[in-house]
Amino acid sequence: MITLDQVKTGERFRVVGFSETNPALVARLREIGFAEEDEVELLYTGPLARRPLCFRLNRTMIALRLDEAIAIEVESWT
């Protein structure tokens, strides 16, 4: 298991859980659509210091900062 800030582009991952440290952030991530078993993939990174990160979540695109992506735990899709 790794956190979403560590993934490379072009690989598919499955959301397996969320960090317990910041419940408000997790609530926010869940509301915008992240949930267990969802498919995520890193699509693009920002022009400066490769931040922020743009993910595909199922069929939608969501941009996260590094410290937001860190709260999402994923595993390789296959």
Which residues here bind other proteins, judged by CB under 8 A? Answer: 25, 27-33, 35-38, 43-52, 54, 56-65, 68
Residue nearer to other proteins on the CB measure, 1 or 37: 37
Give me the least distance between CB of 35 and other proteins, in Å please.
Answer: 4
Give me the least distance between CB of 76 and other proteins, in Å please.
Answer: 19
Residue nearer to other proteins on the CB measure, 58 or 76: 58
Opening angle at CA 51, ends 45 and 56, nearest 5? 40
Residue nearer to other proteins on the CB measure, 2 or 35: 35
- Neighbouring CB atoms inside 10 A of 48's CB total 7
Long-range CB pairs of 21-25, under 8 A, 24+ apart, other chains included: 21/71, 22/71, 25/68, 25/71
